[in-house]
Structure 1
Amino acid sequence: MPHQSGARGGSPMSRRSKHASSWNNYLFVLPALLFIVVFIGFPLVYNLMLSFQNVSVYNLNGKHDFIGLSNYYKSLEDPVFYISLKNSAVFTVLSLIFQFTIGFALALFFNRKFPGRNLFRSLMLLAWMLPVVISGTVFQWMMSGDYGIINYFMQSLGLIDKPINWLSEGRTALLGTIVANIWIGIPFNMIILLSGLQGLPEHLYEAAKLDGANRLVQFRNITLPLMKPTILVLLILGIINTFKVFDLIFVMTAGGPVTSSTVLPIYAYQLSFSTYEFSQGASVSMIMFIILTLISIAYLRMSGKEEVHA
């Protein structure tokens, strides 16, 4: 009996070995955990604490009093906040619509087999691989009023009579940044959707062809339903990445002229590093964080319902 009990429970040596093995597994996760705590957790907690204080350039080295939600109320009472929120919404929605639509069309195109497919697909990734600062500078040159190549072609085609200052006029500045962001985001959408398309079962399309279904019917009844999980993931990632775009807009317009292309990240930056109202800038950053968190929660609930129905 003792021998059987020992066999069932294992020897002390084997139990210690299993215990050590479990700790070794945690050690593999430790570097990633430390990275999250140091570079994500600490800045987030510090920013949250800063948003409840009255830190500015005048008392940077002095006492920082706790003032509760005053910075949030001040931000929500500022008309520039709502202009920035509207610009962020327009920037995000228009960018995603065109990035996703064009990216999906290219993914369907490159999903076919033809000579040179891999070469052209690699060339398409260049827009995504280039640093955003370089892409923004190139588009800034292309959209300049005096010598921009876009004005040159539009005048050559007779579409405009005189050059347009795309990034210097309030009615076109945000549009110019949207065009640049669409160009940057198309390859990412294409490659994610293409990977999803390549994982779809071929026998469903073969059966649909035997039943006489054309390409449009196959796309509507087979491709879209099966691609729904990939599309949801892509859209939530697109919303998060686009809503917090800062570098592209800062390089191209710096939020101007006036506030015509000011989005929430630019607004938070201006509060913190132009007017040196650090706590109010932190409150705007936390509002952005709350908005993106709510969007992420909505996505998780939607994906959870999809899994239940599946």
Structure 2
Amino acid sequence: MKAQNIEGNYKANRGGKRFSEWNSYLFLLPALAFMAVFILYPILYNAVLSFKDVNVYNLNGEQHFVGFSNYVKTFKDEVFYIATQNSVIFTIISIFFQFTIGFALALFFNMKFPGRSLFRSLMLLAWMLPVVITGTVFQWMMSGDYGVINYFLQSLGLIDKPVNWLSEGNTALLGTIFANVWIGIPFNMIILLSGLQSLPLQLYEAARLDGANRWLQFRHVTLPLMRPTILVLLMLGIINTFKVFDLIYIMTAGGPVTSSTVLPIYAYQLSFTMFEFSQGAAVSMIMFVLLILVAIVYLRMSNKEEVH
């Protein structure tokens, strides 16, 4: 009798535990449904679209499967390589200045001084403003006739006549980079500042007792401890910067000609200007694969960090 009771209690506990596990999975259903509808389905649909021949003429008609023809056509297009080069330049320069200036500001605001919280909050305005407003303001600032930047440079005697920063092929991409750096500095600053404030102060006290100056403390204490935060920040920065569309579209729309055309602009032009939807999908999938490779590199580097 006692054995039957024990067996019954075991089955009841096992059934209750199994029900609890299923109950936990039920709470994940809304998030999984959201990801399936708004993330997984668009990616799969875009992937299928890239293997078809879909344009404005057969959008509602018969759509033929063409295999890798759209990818071959894309790799033969000279504009694709210009857009890729512009995307790489835009990403590398933006990340470099966003990170270095953001790190410097994070070190500055990590010190205690009057008004620190106020100035730190004001720095976040650049990141909180809508990109439409930021792009429009920088477009006005860089205009050739009445731009503030030209007035400032002429006042200092650095230029003789106004420069059409966003209308000339040599400076259009740099103008968009300048605006993107301004947007990204506060985000880098706040992430790095939160990392700095979580570092143990005992290590700095021990380093000072050993005679380490500020530079040695930064090199041998701050940087090694901040490495995981820096890796995450750089990965997020590369992904967010590589897919920037709205800022560049507002400021230059990819022009003049292709001087500021990046891959997102190129995909948009193919899909919604030339109405070559399948080729635009192919460019989007190439971008997706490139960003997946960046994520894989990050995961391998983070695994090495955990091993060490």
Query: What is the TM-score with the length of structure 2 in the denominator?
Result: 0.97
Q: Distance between the aligned counterparts of 1:141 and 1:42, measured in 2?
A: 39
Q: Distance between the aligned counterparts of 1:89 and 1:251, measured in 2?
A: 20
- Residue 251 of structure 1 is matched in structure 2 by 250
Q: Distance between the aligned counterparts of 1:203 and 1:123, measured in 2?
A: 31
- Residue 286 of structure 2 is matched in structure 1 by 287
Return 5+ residue gaps in structure 2 as ranges. none
Compared with structure 1, are the counterparts of its residues 112 and 49 closer, same or farther at alpha carbon in structure 2 (3 Å cutoff)?
same
What letter is aligned with 1:241? N
- Residue 133 of structure 1 is matched in structure 2 by 132
Tell me by how many angstroms 1:23 deviates. Answer: 1.9
- Residue 204 of structure 1 is matched in structure 2 by 203
Counterparts of 1:217-228 in structure 2 under 5 Å? 217-228=216-227
Q: Distance between the aligned counterparts of 1:4 and 1:150, measured in 2?
A: 87
| Structure 1 segments (4+ residues) deviating >2 Å | 2-20
RMSD: 1.3
Tell me by how many angstroms 1:61 deviates. Answer: 1.3
- Residue 147 of structure 2 is matched in structure 1 by 148
Deviations 1:79-106 (A, max 9, x none): 0000000000000000000000000000
- Residue 56 of structure 1 is matched in structure 2 by 55
What letter is aligned with 1:302? M
Tell me by how many angstroms 1:27 deviates. Answer: 1.8
Q: Distance between the aligned counterparts of 1:110 and 1:302, measured in 2?
A: 29
Q: Distance between the aligned counterparts of 1:231 and 1:77, measured in 2?
A: 37
What letter is aligned with 2:97? F
- Residue 80 of structure 1 is matched in structure 2 by 79
Tell me by how many angstroms 1:10 deviates. Answer: 3.3
Deviations 1:260-282 (A, max 9, x none): 00000000000000000000000
Q: Distance between the aligned counterparts of 1:79 and 1:55, measured in 2?
A: 22
- Residue 47 of structure 1 is matched in structure 2 by 46
Deviations 1:230-289 (A, max 9, x none): 000000000000000000000000000000000000000000000000000000000000
What letter is aligned with 1:167? L
Q: Distance between the aligned counterparts of 2:74 and 2:293, measured in 1?
A: 19
Deviations 1:116-174 (A, max 9, x none): 11111111111111111111111001101101111111111111110010100000000
Compared with structure 1, are the counterparts of its residues 11 and 100 closer, same or farther at alpha carbon in structure 2 (3 Å cutoff)?
same
- Residue 3 of structure 1 is matched in structure 2 by 2
Counterpart check, 1:104 vs 2:130: no
Q: Distance between the aligned counterparts of 2:235 and 2:117, measured in 1?
A: 28
Q: Distance between the aligned counterparts of 1:241 and 1:166, measured in 2?
A: 24
What letter is aligned with 2:196? L
- Residue 170 of structure 2 is matched in structure 1 by 171
- Residue 239 of structure 1 is matched in structure 2 by 238
Compared with structure 1, are the counterparts of its residues 275 and 230 closer, same or farther at alpha carbon in structure 2 (3 Å cutoff)?
same
Counterparts of 1:115-126 in structure 2 under 5 Å? 115-126=114-125
Compared with structure 1, are the counterparts of its residues 101 and 13 closer, same or farther at alpha carbon in structure 2 (3 Å cutoff)?
same
Compared with structure 1, are the counterparts of its residues 203 and 72 closer, same or farther at alpha carbon in structure 2 (3 Å cutoff)?
same
Compared with structure 1, are the counterparts of its residues 57 and 203 closer, same or farther at alpha carbon in structure 2 (3 Å cutoff)?
same
What letter is aligned with 1:99? Q
- Residue 228 of structure 2 is matched in structure 1 by 229
Tell me by how many angstroms 1:4 deviates. Answer: 5.8
- Residue 182 of structure 1 is matched in structure 2 by 181
**3-state SS of paired residue (2:52):** coil
Counterpart check, 1:65 vs 2:81: no
**3-state SS of paired residue (1:10):** helix
Q: Distance between the aligned counterparts of 1:138 and 1:24, measured in 2?
A: 51
What letter is aligned with 2:30? P
What letter is aligned with 1:91? F
**3-state SS of paired residue (2:53):** coil
- Residue 93 of structure 1 is matched in structure 2 by 92
Tell me by how many angstroms 1:16 deviates. Answer: 3.3
What letter is aligned with 1:201? P
What letter is aligned with 1:228? R
Q: Distance between the aligned counterparts of 1:23 and 1:118, measured in 2?
A: 46
**3-state SS of paired residue (2:2):** helix
Q: Distance between the aligned counterparts of 1:183 and 1:3, measured in 2?
A: 74
- Residue 30 of structure 1 is matched in structure 2 by 29
Q: Distance between the aligned counterparts of 2:19 and 2:264, measured in 1?
A: 46
Return 5+ residue gaps in structure 1 as ranges. none
Q: Distance between the aligned counterparts of 1:102 and 1:236, measured in 2?
A: 17
